Amino acid sequence: MVKAIRGTRDLLPPDTQLWNRVETTARAVFARYGFGEIRTPIFEATELFVRGVGEETDVVSKEMYTWEDRARAASEKAQQLTLRPENTAGVVRAYIEHKLGETGQLQKLYYIGPQFRRERPQRGRYRQFWQIGVEVIGPPSSGSESAIRDAEVLEMLASLLDELGVKGWRLALNSVGSSSDRPKYLAALKAALEPVKATMCEDCQRRAETNPLRVLDCKVPEDQATIDALPKIAEYLDEASQQHFAQVQAALDACGVAYEVAPRLVRGLDYYTRTTFEFTVPDGSGLGTQNALLGGGRYDGLSEMLGGPKAPGIGFAIGEDRLILTLQAQAGEAAANKIDAYIAPLGVEQNSAALALARQLRRGGLSVEVGDGSFRLKKSFETADRVARRVVLLGEDEVANGVATVKTFATGEQSRVVLGELVSALSAA
Ligand code: AMP
């Protein structure tokens, strides 16, 4: 038997109902803040991610699905292609390619779609996973560098999580400084790592040489004390970065959005500048050790790294799989969403009349299922009780008189209703 690939999953009903609710809510919230949807290809030139995400990141160095796409005609060249491991690089590529900066307007874009990373699968970590993300990007004259944009994105996230019903979320916030702050900090970090790196894990020893910032992401317990004693990036921010970070915090305070400053939060991708953040959920929210629900930050130099114009921006990506796991764990065994009515024809002779009635009710906006006249009454009732709030019985007598017998499961109430009044009767709570 051919099975789904390790780290990939089928999403089935009733779970997909929750996935749809999450996506519908996200779209509605994003629309209230003036965001429009962007859909970029699922695969791109490998070089986009190498340049955009950074060669020394785990994502690019270990986790990408990359292949050589052979030329099919003499006029075509073979290409290195990659399944997108994240969507920001693709959005910024599209921003550059379509010259969106030339509009002079701030671009407020969102996406919902699958991403691919060859990670070790575990609960909350998959090889194909979904992200719901947002990017605010534009020329500096559009106000894209302003701290108010950072705060607005964070406030929107807080509102979205509240509206979805996520309980106990926490916002961890940091600033990783500008591209001019970074070299000074990196030099200090490298110097501080020099005498201690030999005591650290293998990955850290390598990162200390190639990309010292990544050492701060290390999760190995034995390394934590060493890492806590390393210099903090906050001590190396220049005046402008400090001010920017203070403005973000002041705007969040004004909106009443709670946050904690997390000095070690540098995040896994190289393009971040200044504001970086992560939202986590408490233990027992279904995520195990993967408690980061979403992450994001500012990426003021990314467009230039990809050969585009100056276009500061900020964005985030919610791990939709993790959001769903959280909602499911926090809701416990929430009552399944039941349809409005289950029509039970009593005898196969009533099947056609039942389907015609279902058509009328569905056109009236009701959610309806139709059974089969060959079912025994007991089976019809059991099925109806499982999926619907009410059962509509349609026997020979009912069809002849243009009525139906309706039973409401919650109250046990039973009555005969004229067919013309069924839509309104079934719409009642
Ligand atoms: P990143 O793009 O690495 O900043 O990740 C943003 C969010 O995507 C994380 O906070 C996770 O919620 C989610 N995420 C990243 N990698 C995975 C994965 N392999 N499986 C499920 N969710 C993921």
Give me the DSSP letters along 64-76.
Answer: --EEEE--SSTTS
pLDDT digits 0-9 by tens, 371-423: 999 999 999 999 999 999 999 999 999 999 999 999 999 999 999 999 999 99
pLDDT digits 0-9 by tens, 313-365: 999 999 999 999 999 999 875 556 789 999 999 999 999 999 999 999 999 99
d(CA 132, CA 25): 11
Please work out whether the CB of residue 268 comes within 6 Å of at least one atom of ligand 1. yes
pTM: predicted TM-score of the whole model, two decimal places: 0.87
d(CA 214, CA 269): 9
Least Cα distance to 230 among 210, 214, 211, 216 occurs for 216
Which token pair is 117? Answer: 């990373």
Nearest CA, atom 10, ligand 1:
294
Quickly state the pLDDT bin for 283 (edges 50, 70, 90): confident
Counting residues of the chain whose pLDDT is more than 70, the rounded percentage is 99
Report which of residues 89 and 218 the model is more confident about.
89
Task: Check pLDDT > 90 for residue 183.
Answer: no
3-state secondary structure of 314: strand
Q: Residues near 217 by Cβ (< 8 Å), separated by ≥ 6?
A: 266, 267, 268
Nearest CA, atom 16, ligand 1:
125
pLDDT at 19: 97
Compute the distance from residue 319 Cα to the ligand 1 centre, in Å: 5
Nearest CA, atom 1, ligand 1:
295
Least Cα distance to 295 among 169, 186, 183 occurs for 169
Nearest CA, atom 12, ligand 1:
319
Pocket probe mutation, ligand 1, options 83, 129, 280, max atoms within 8 Å of Cβ: 129
d(CA 392, CA 1): 42
Compute the distance from residue 144 Cα to the ligand 1 centre, in Å: 25
Report which of residues 14 and 56 the model is more confident about.
14
Least Cα distance to 285 among 317, 336, 259, 324 occurs for 324
Nearest CA, atom 9, ligand 1:
294
Quickly state the pLDDT bin for 108 (edges 50, 70, 90): very high
Average pLDDT over residues 234-245: 94
Compute the distance from residue 306 Cα to the ligand 1 centre, in Å: 23
Nearest CA, atom 21, ligand 1:
125
Beta-sheet strands, E only, within 124-262: 128-137, 170-175, 260-261
Average pLDDT over residues 27-33: 98
Crossing angle for the helix pair 239-255 and 147-164, nearest 10 degrees?
40
Average pLDDT over residues 296-316: 96
Alpha helices (H) along 33-180: 46-52, 58-62, 88-97, 147-164
Please work out whether the CB of residue 394 comes within 6 Å of at least one atom of ligand 1. no
Which of 184-193, 246-255, 282-291, 365-374 has the least mean pLDDT?
Answer: 282-291
d(CA 260, CA 173): 6
Please work out whether the CB of residue 119 comes within 6 Å of at least one atom of ligand 1. yes
Question: Ligand 1 atom closest to Cα of 117?
Answer: 19
Please work out whether the CB of residue 86 comes within 6 Å of at least one atom of ligand 1. yes
d(CA 184, CA 207): 17
Number of C-beta neighbours around residue 310 at 10 A: 14
Quickly state the pLDDT bin for 271 (edges 50, 70, 90): confident
d(CA 242, CA 20): 40
pLDDT at 321: 96
Nearest CA, atom 3, ligand 1:
268
Please work out whether the CB of residue 294 comes within 6 Å of at least one atom of ligand 1. yes
Please work out whether the CB of residue 117 comes within 6 Å of at least one atom of ligand 1. yes
Which token pair is 338? Answer: 């039941």
Pocket probe mutation, ligand 1, options 166, 276, 321, max atoms within 8 Å of Cβ: 321
Pocket probe mutation, ligand 1, options 61, 111, 115, 323, max atoms within 8 Å of Cβ: 115
Compute the distance from residue 148 Cα to the ligand 1 centre, in Å: 25
Question: Ligand 1 atom closest to Cα of 293?
Answer: 12
Nearest CA, atom 22, ligand 1:
319
